[in-house]
Every structure is written in C-alpha cells, then in structure tokens.
Amino acid sequence: MNQQYRFGLFVLLALVQLYFPGKMVYDSNKVLWLGQAFKFETRPVDPADPFRGRYVALNFAATQFEAPTESAWQRNETVFVLLETDAAGYAKIKGLSRSKPAQQEAYVSAKVSYVWKNQVTLFYPFSRFYMEEGKAQKAEIIYRRVNAGYALVKVYKGEAVLEDVLVKGKSLRELAR
C-alpha cells in the first residue's frame, strides 16, 4: 500500500472521528445561541448516576396537560409540546401535537409518561442538571432550603438545552461554590 494513501486514509479517519462529537457540541451551542429562553419552574432532588456522575434531577411544574379528548395519547409516545409563557413568566404547555409544528412555534419533543383519562403527563429530555461531583450535593441542600427556582431552557426548532438552574435569580452553580 502506498505511503501517501495510508496517510490520506489516516487523516480521513481522524476527521470522521472529530466530526461527530464536534457536530454534537455545535448543535447544542446553536440552540443556546439562537434558542428562545423558557423558565421551567422546578422541584429538584439530587441522585447520582454511577456512569455520568452527580446531577440535580428536575421535576417540572409544566408536565401535565389536559387533552381535549380522552385516551388520545399513548404511554412512551413521542410528542411535540407547544410552549408559551404564563403571566408569571414561566413555561406553560399550549398544546400537544404528533406532527412537527410550524417553524414560528416554540416547541420541544417529549415522551408521554402516563395518561389518566384526558390528563397527559410528560417527561422532558432536559430533566437532569449535571454538576461537578462536590457541588451537586451542596446545590441540593441550597435548593431544598429555598424550595423555589426554575430551569432556564433554550428552545430552537424542537431542540432544547438546559442552560442553567436559578434560585432567587442566581445560578445554582454559583450558589454551590
């Protein structure tokens, strides 16, 4: 095999290996740069994942939606959640859809957790706020004392990125130092 051919193959393989993680980082940052900010009211707990580390698990107030028809949604079904902001400035579910909404609509994809009559409960993909090992437990203690806060989630074309969790207007990362 020609030396130049091997070197070219090596460079191509290296570029392919860099492309995929780079694209993941770029896509997440694109949502942060271009996305619309929504404040999701939270009530976290602090579990540990042996493979991914410590995180603050977030339970959102905006997880239930009363669907107009009974039993229209199925457990574990992927749905598009149309979002709007309520009078207090928090995210509120405007509606659910099985098809991608129009581009001007703010929406995220979520899974149907369970359905009871016409009450649909959702699970959002941004329910874990990862922190440094030493800070996560302290963050939980701070949050439990205050028992109020919100997750700042950026939404862009159906993609969502959890930017920060804020308590009394201050970042949980900053408070946990």
Residues 6 or more apart from 104 whose CB is under 8 A from it?
none
Residues 6 or more apart from 32 whose CB is under 8 A from it?
154, 161, 163
With a cut of 80, say whether residue 100 has pLDDT above it: yes
Phi-psi region of 51 (alpha: psi -120 to 50; beta: other; left: phi over 0): alpha
Contact 72, 108 (CB under 8 A): no
Q: Tell me, what amino acid is at 168? A: K
pLDDT at position 133: 75
Q: Tell which residue, 162, 15, 139, 14, has the closest CA to residue 91.
A: 162
Mean pLDDT of 89-96: 92
Q: What is the pTM of this model?
A: 0.72
Torsion sign over Cα 166, 163, 78, 44: negative
Share of the chain above pLDDT 70, in %: 91
Q: What is the pLDDT of residues 165-174, one digit of tens each?
A: 888 888 888 8
How many angstroms separate the Cα of 58 from the Cα of each of 112, 121, 143, 162? 17, 15, 11, 11
d(CA 100, CA 96): 10
With a cut of 90, say whether residue 92 has pLDDT above it: yes
Give the number of C-alpha atoms closer than 13 A to the C-alpha of residue 69, restricted to the C-beta side.
6
pLDDT at position 85: 92
- pLDDT band for 93, please (50, 70, 90 cuts): very high
Q: What is the pLDDT of residues 29-42, one digit of tens each?
A: 888 888 888 888 87
